[in-house]
Amino acid sequence: MKYSFKSCKMLIQFYPLYLVEQIIKTLISILTPLIPIYVSGQIVTLFMKDEKLTSIVMMTLIAFGIYFLCEFIIYLFSFYEGYVQRMFCARLSTVFYRKLSCIDYDFHESPVFLNDYTRSLEEGVNHIYSTANYTFTLIISFFQSLSIFTILFQMHYLTVLFAFVLGFIYLLIRIQMGRINHKSRSLQRPYRRHTWYSNRAFTLKDGMADLKTSEIDEILLENNDIAHDKIIEALDKYTSKVALLNFIGEILMMLIYPGVLAILAYLTIEGVDLPEFTVLATAATTLSSLIVRISTNYGQLQDVIVECRVPFDLMNTQGKIEGVTLKNVSGNFESLEVKDMTFSYDGKKNCLEHINMEIKKGQKIAIVGSNGAGKTTLVKLLLRLYDPNSGSISINHQNYQETTAKDIRIFVGAVFQNVETYAMSIAENVLLRAPKTQEDIDLVIEALKFAGLYESVEMLPQGIHTQITREFDQKGIIFSGGQNQKLAIARGYAQHYELFILDEPSSALDPIAEAKVYQNMLELGKDRTIIFISHRLTTTVNADKIYLFEKGKIIEEGTHQEMMDKNGIYKKMFLSQSSKYLGKSYE
């Protein structure tokens, strides 16, 4: 029941008044089942004494008024509970989103983690609320039953024992049903992610061109059908077991009322008068209803409580890099040093081997090499998304692994080749927040100029306030691939990173646009330290230092002229690429 306790604790921490409401609700719920029991006995007694009808009606109306008032209070509470449910689920979703800041980057490469994370977001918030709600409902039903148990127990203990035994067996059945349903849902989860992937592919605009002009839709549909077949297979595996258990449980619940009434009639009918038997019969009816309610609530609780393990385990997940508070970076950025660093994703094959680099404040560094040479992996290590297997990275002579990752990223930031744009204004996409002051507006403009995008944005009717995409605004703008990359560069510039890494920032640009972007970067970013990651060597000419990567190793380094003078691989690559634009006239 630890997840039940955790769910209740979390709900009360968010909304303390919910506990007060449940206490009042419990007191009312203890009173309400006693009213019809008391009234039924009194009515029979009054009739047997030939009391006036007005007295009977008056007593009934008073009892009904009290009962109505109690139920009306419960009715009003339902509005508050609806509000709590909506807000609690919304706040808990935010907790899961923010949890990503405490989960290491490599978790996102694990299908098992992605299964659990999507499951927590889509179902976990409701399961936690339902667990708390069913727990409180069960407590209320338990206290309601105590008073009824007391009345029946005074007449004969077998009535209570009979109801308790049937209810307990039903609880065991529902526990088993909850476990089976959990196994079924766990088995379905990977295949449901496949169906959601198909759904995204058929609804996102980015894939529409391929869907309309190729046969890729057939592959997607075939994979979707396979996933659905697997889901049905998982359902079939457990459906018959759940159906049988449910059938047995329903039969047991149907036997409670006639069983309790039969025991009362057989064991007590000769020793009680009519008013007493009326009270007992009403109590038996109420008891059977309460046992059914308790058993059903407990069964529902078991269904959801086994699902709570997934979101609570996720919330307890701790990273070795993210969310760990260590030292902050001291002072302003002065230098970054990589010493004899080696890194492997799987612990077997090294992606980077014995890397040594030194980057000083204000330098413009170019890192070049063919695809797969390890350039992007290096960027992820410089951002401390991963830690090296051996060797070290230091910022201001302070070891990365002794420094809070979030603090490193205040100084070191990157723009990657694949750019994520959001359905917000251009200004919000650049700042990654809402612009609030004129200084913010000026920063957006400066960043757009830095990236070479300002001239295009300036001509738009709403300028930097134009919405990107037309998903929510018909007047929005759809940027080209090259413009998206420029937007990403502007975004990086606006974050005031002291060490700014551009990972293939111009891959979607033509040579002229590329040259202009780099010229802007060198002019506007003259006071910043910039690392260019590229396989185009035309961007390296003005760099203070160039590192050439090949198969995870640095094979050449130096200025452009020094590298050309070596007559090595760099020179061959540079001449080969230059000849595509300049022909033999380069020499």
For residue 587, pLDDT beyond 60: no
Q: What is the pLDDT of residue 206?
A: 62
Sign of torsion over alpha carbons 3, 7, 8, 13: positive
For residue 379, pLDDT beyond 80: yes
Decide if 391 contacts 354 (C-beta within 8 A).
yes
Q: What is the mean pLDDT of the chain?
A: 81
Task: Return the closest-CA partner of residue 367 out of 186, 552, 191.
Answer: 552
Edge-first strand order for the sheet with 529-534 is 412-415, 499-503, 529-534, 364-369, 545-550, 553-558
For residue 427, pLDDT beyond 70: yes
For residue 220, pLDDT beyond 70: yes
**Separation CA 19–CA 23 (nearest Å):** 6
How many Cβ atoms from other residues are within 10 Å of residue 527's Cβ? 8
Decide if 534 contacts 364 (C-beta within 8 A).
no
Q: How far is CA 359 from the centre of its chain?
A: 37
Q: What is the pLDDT of residue 269?
A: 58
Single-letter code of the amino acid located at 300: Q
**Separation CA 491–CA 425 (nearest Å):** 13
Tell me which architecture the domain covering 2-190+241-316 has in CATH: Up-down Bundle (1.20)
pLDDT category at 586 given cuts 50, 70, 90 is very low
In 3-state terms, the chain is what percent helix, strand and coil (to 5)? 65, 10, 20
How many Cβ atoms from other residues are within 10 Å of residue 517's Cβ? 23
pLDDT category at 116 given cuts 50, 70, 90 is confident
Instruction: Give the H or E element holding residue 534.
Output: strand 529-534
Question: Out of 142-156, 374-388, 402-416, 439-453, which region has the weakest mean confidence (pLDDT)?
Answer: 142-156
Q: What is the pLDDT of residue 145?
A: 73
Q: What is the pLDDT of residue 267?
A: 65
Q: How far is CA 257 from the centre of its chain?
A: 45
Q: Is 540 exposed, middle or buried (0-12, 13-18, 19+ CB in 10 A)?
A: buried
Q: What are the domain boundaries of the chain?
A: 2-190+241-316, 335-418+497-586, 422-478
Decide if 161 contacts 117 (C-beta within 8 A).
no
47-75: pLDDT as tens digits: 666 656 677 677 778 878 888 888 888 88
Sign of torsion over alpha carbons 209, 212, 216, 221: positive
Question: Out of 9-13, 34-38, 469-473, 497-501, which region has the weakest mean confidence (pLDDT)?
Answer: 34-38
Q: What is the pLDDT of residue 445?
A: 92
3-state secondary structure of 434: coil
Length of the chain: 587
Edge-first strand order for the sheet with 398-399 is 350-360, 335-344, 390-395, 398-399
- Furthest CA-CA distance within the chain: 124
Task: Return the closest-CA partner of residue 319 out of 107, 114, 104, 95.
Answer: 104
What are the distances in angstroms from CA 395 to CA 8, 91, 366, 382, 533?
45, 37, 19, 10, 19
Q: What is the pLDDT of residue 207?
A: 63
User: DSSP E strands: which ranges in 251-324?
Assistant: none
pLDDT category at 123 given cuts 50, 70, 90 is confident
3-state secondary structure of 266: helix
For residue 338, pLDDT beyond 90: yes
**Separation CA 100–CA 29 (nearest Å):** 42
Sign of torsion over alpha carbons 377, 382, 387, 388: positive
- On whether the 335-418+497-586 domain is CATH 3.40.50.300, my answer is yes
Instruction: Give the H or E element holding residue 274.
Output: helix 274-305
For residue 579, pLDDT beyond 50: yes
Q: What is the pLDDT of residue 44?
A: 63
Q: What is the pLDDT of residue 273?
A: 57
61-110: pLDDT as tens digits: 887 888 888 888 888 888 898 889 888 888 888 888 888 778 888 888 78
Q: What is the pLDDT of residue 341?
A: 94
Single-letter code of the amino acid located at 222: E
pTM for this model (two decimals): 0.68
Question: Out of 15-29, 62-76, 503-517, 559-573, which region has the weakest mean confidence (pLDDT)?
Answer: 503-517
pLDDT category at 335 given cuts 50, 70, 90 is very high
Task: Return the closest-CA partner of residue 151 out of 309, 48, 38.
Answer: 38
How many Cβ atoms from other residues are within 10 Å of residue 127's Cβ? 23
**Separation CA 171–CA 96 (nearest Å):** 32
Q: What is the pLDDT of residue 271?
A: 56
Region 419-423 average pLDDT: 81
159-201: pLDDT as tens digits: 777 777 877 787 788 778 878 887 888 888 788 877 877 777 7
Residue with tokens 């051996």: 390
250-304: pLDDT as tens digits: 787 777 767 776 776 666 655 555 566 666 666 666 666 777 777 777 777 877 8
341-358: pLDDT as tens digits: 999 988 788 999 999 999
Decide if 29 contacts 144 (C-beta within 8 A).
yes
Pairing of strands 553-558, 390-395: unpaired
Single-letter code of the amino acid located at 171: L
**Separation CA 464–CA 449 (nearest Å):** 12
